[in-house]
Structures are given as structure tokens and as C-alpha cells.
Amino acid sequence: MGTGKLTIDLGAIRTNWRNLAAMNSGETAAVVKADGYGLGAGKVARALQKEGARTFFVAMAEEGAALRQELGPDPVINVFSGHMPGDADMIHDTHLVPMINSIDQLIRHVEALPNHPFGIQLDSGMNRLGMEPAEWGAVAQVALEQRPTLLMSHLACADEPDHPMNAQQLKTFFELTDGLGVPRSLANTGGVLLGPDYHFEMTRPGIGTYGGLPYIDATPVVTLDLPVIQCRTLEPGETVGYANSFTATRETRIATVSAGYADGILRALGPKTHLYAGDTPCPIAGRISMDLIGVDITDLPSGSDPATLELLGRHQSIDTLADNADTIAYEILTALGPRYSLRYIGG
């Protein structure tokens, strides 16, 4: 095949979620937005449903409607973006629970879908989504009379345990919600790891479920093997790729693999990233292009040109690639393109 093979270990996803769930005494939800962080929301969610997940979070109503078709009528599907204009029929027909982010959304929801479940997202300091404290104070009594299912907020710096923002947001969230008798949720993966003060009645780990930091004990989830199309030998002074950015300083063996930035392999990865032939690291040679990458395989034994090279797997994690590209593991996962041949194991 001319496309890479992306192997997704659903068993590892289940293990990571189960271990994160064991850290708290309340309910643990599953975050499957952005097509399950790029790994296939339907398959990921069904695996987590088998593991015991009863509540799922998505980013928008369209994701929730698609997920409902995969999971059936029983699980709760919460929508982070809330109740957007034009979403009423979809929210009603597929039994979604919007996390209301503003007074406008609250009015829209109550008028369009009276008695339909909803939650409320509060801004505890991130200034991204949710009602601000003064806004919440103005409508809390009316909103609570409508019996929201959840009060939630989101931590901005949970991956830095000592960051003062964590304690500040916890204090604010507690002040906004204490004694209201509604289940609460504050903790993402980092929040789970911050300890019980942050757990409340529901946690909702995301990136840790998919094998990423800050959950350092996570089981790796993805392996990416890229097929080699052609190998050639360069003489000293010959170059590889656009802008002649790699120049051979010795007799050099180059493998060209079928993948590039159209497949989510970010151009910024080039200077620091290796692919692996077995246990041997082979550096990228030259620029990553749209569909092709040159790889220096000179240090492999003579006559042992590989059929594939591994980019993600036991030697190199999503966080390693993220560091190489000066980004985060979320971007590495969600950037993975649609051209890969997907293989699911362990579900």
C-alpha cells in the first residue's frame, strides 16, 4: 500500500481511562470531541462504553448527533459549545445535553426546548467559555429552577501542578457552586492528577485517555508505520528535497516514505525527528513535503532497505513529536490525516 498504517490500540485507551477513573470516587466521563482526538470517535466511544463510561463530551451538536448513532439511546452526551442558533431540533431529536455558556444561550434553550436537560458552564478564570461570575449571579436562581444536570468549568493550567492559577480557579469554582445541590465537574486529565480537591462529582479526562501528558503513566495508544516507496544512494555533495536543505557529507542512503504534511506530519518536525527501522533511529533528511519525506538510512546494514519506517510507537511518543515541533500532543493526534489505513486492536 502507498499509505501509512495507523494502528490504534483501543485496549490501551480503555486501560488509560480505567486507571484515571480509579483516581476519583465520583463518575468519570469520556471526552471524545474532534473525532475522538482524531482516532475515530465512534470506535473510541464504543470501547469506553464497554469499559463503563456513561457520560460523553463532544465539542458541538453535530458531533453529538453522530455519536448518538454509534452509542444508542442510553449514554448522556454533553455538548461543550452549548445551544447554538439552529441546533434545537438536533439537540432534541438526538437527546443531547448542551452546556449553556451565556444568558443568551440559556434563554434560547429554555424557550426552544422547555424541560429539555442542560448543564451550565461557568468561567472560573480561563476566559474562554462559560458564564462569568457576575453573569451567573444575575441568573443563578432562575437557572437553578430549571434543574440543570451539571455545573462545570475548565482549568487553564492543570498540566502545571504548581501553577497558582489552579488554586485560584478551584476557589472561584467552589464559590460559584457550593451548596447548590447540582453535580459539578472541573477536572480534565491534569485536574484528575491534581487530586481529590479538584474531582467533585465528575471528572472528564481527555488527552490522558489517548496516551498523552501530563499523565506520565499512560499506556501508548497509537503506532504509525510509513511505507518506503524508493531508496537511493547519494554521493557527497548531493542534496535532498526542497531548497536543498539536506546535503550529503558522505555516501548516503536515502529512503523516501509515503507521507507528509497532508497526512498531519508537521513540517516543523523535520530538524529534530527520527523514524525507526527496528531499533535504529534514522533522521529525516531535508524538508517534509506534502506527500513525501526523505529519511537517512545510511546506518542500517548494507542491503537491508526497510519496507516501512515507524514514526510513532514504542520508540517515539506523541509527546516526543510534539516537543520536536514545539507544539502539544493534542495537535499531533488531531492533525493525523485521513489517508492512513486504520487498524484497530484490543477493543
| Per-residue pLDDT reduced to its tens digit, 177-217 | 999 999 999 999 999 999 999 999 999 999 999 999 999 99
Residue 242: active-site member: yes
pLDDT, tens digit, for every residue of 82-110?
999 999 999 999 999 999 999 999 999 99
Q: How many residues does the chain have?
A: 347
CA–CA distance, 269 with 224 (Å, rounded to integer): 15
Summary mean pLDDT of the chain: 96
Q: Which of 5, 33, 171, 210 is catalytic?
A: 33
334: phi then psi, degrees, rounded to nearest 5: -75, -15
- In 38-149, where does DSSP find H-type helix? 41-51, 61-71, 88-93, 103-112, 133-145
315: phi then psi, degrees, rounded to nearest 5: -95, -20
Residue recorded with cell 529525516: 284
Q: Which of 171, 210, 242, 272 is catalytic?
A: 242
CA–CA distance, 100 with 103 (Å, rounded to integer): 8
- Using the predicted structure, report yes or no on whether residue 66 has a pLDDT greater than 80: yes
Percent of the chain with pLDDT over 70: 100
- Using the predicted structure, report yes or no on whether residue 54 has a pLDDT greater than 80: yes
CA–CA distance, 55 with 78 (Å, rounded to integer): 7
Average pLDDT, stretch 157-182? 96
- Using the predicted structure, report yes or no on whether residue 2 has a pLDDT greater than 90: no
pLDDT band at 302 (very low <50, low <70, confident <90, very high): confident
- Per-residue model confidence (pLDDT) at position 245: 93
Residue 43: active-site member: no
Pairing of strands 27-28, 202-203: parallel
Average pLDDT, stretch 213-233? 96
| Summary count for the chain: helices (H), strands (E) | 11, 19
CA–CA distance, 172 with 264 (Å, rounded to integer): 38
- Using the predicted structure, report yes or no on whether residue 13 has a pLDDT greater than 90: yes
The model's pTM is 0.94
Q: All 3 cell numbers of residue 37?
A: 482526538
- Per-residue model confidence (pLDDT) at position 303: 84
Q: Which amino acid is at 125?
A: G
Average pLDDT, stretch 102-125? 97
Half-sphere exposure of 139 (CA within 13 A, CB side): 22
- Per-residue model confidence (pLDDT) at position 296: 98
Q: Is 129 exposed, middle or buried (0-12, 13-18, 19+ CB in 10 A)?
A: middle
Q: What is the crossing angle of helices 41-51 and 61-71, to 10°? A: 60
30: phi then psi, degrees, rounded to nearest 5: -125, 125
CA angle at 30 for the pair 26 and 31, rounded to the nearest 5°: 130
CA–CA distance, 78 with 58 (Å, rounded to integer): 6
- Per-residue model confidence (pLDDT) at position 1: 57
